[in-house]
Structure 1
């Protein structure tokens, strides 16, 4: 027997802003909502989902856990531009200049990466 990832949790002070950002980036939708948590997930109700949880404090240090994404159906450069247009921003966490990933942050500063190879290139 093993465990299966069911939910990833992202802390935020503005849960609507962060949930809407991640839903747009991933092509997901809101699946549940209350005053302190907004849950987003794929339309087919598969796992994992993401809970955006209200916290009183702002992010102050680099994430200990982050998401790595691959462009799916577009080039990596097009996906980076799309995510930046949605509110993401480039950040420097000490990655090398020849990194095979681009480090971005969501609207509240949570880092994530878009990997150089697309979904289609790794299949």
Structure 2
């Protein structure tokens, strides 16, 4: 007997706003929504596909009344696939992310936050070198 990792749920004030932000970050699409929840993903899951093999999880943004109060215990890491890490950081700043810390010379990632303050890291680029 096993389970599958199918969704990562993010509590937030504005599910539509965060879904829009993360769709732009990850090139995902909205696959389900109601007034208090928006689910995004790179595919539309079916029970049969999930049973057959591990598939990429979706992100679900759920409206909650309380605000984030402490550092995330879990965060997403993203890796650019078309440009440099710094180019991706610049793009993400343009769509509403914030830089959380200053880049240290020996660190290969950049800590950022989404529009509601949830931290995530931009890792090394996966783009082919020129």
Q: What is the aligned-residue RMSD (CA, Å)? A: 1.9
Q: Distance in 2 between matches of 1:96 and 1:76?
A: 11
Q: TM-score, normalised to structure 2's length?
A: 0.82
Please list, as runs of the form range in 1=range in 2, the aligned pairs for 1:48-67 lying within 5 A after superposition: 48-67=57-76
Please list, as runs of the form range in 1=range in 2, the aligned pairs for 1:99-118 lying within 5 A after superposition: 99-115=107-123, 117-118=124-125
Please list, as runs of the form range in 1=range in 2, the aligned pairs for 1:1-123 lying within 5 A after superposition: 2-43=2-43, 45=45, 47-92=56-101, 97=104, 98-115=106-123, 117-120=124-127
Q: TM-score, normalised to structure 1's length?
A: 0.87
Q: Secondary structure at the match of 2:77?
A: strand
Gaps of 5+ in 2: 46-54
Residue 47 of structure 1 and its aligned partner are, at CA, apart by: 2.4
Query: Do 2:31 and 2:44's aligned partners in 1 also have CA atoms closer than 8 Å?
Result: no
The structure whose Rg is larger is: 2
Q: Distance in 2 between matches of 1:50 and 1:41?
A: 6
Gaps of 5+ in 1: none
- Moved beyond 2 Å, runs of 4+: 1-4, 43-47, 95-98
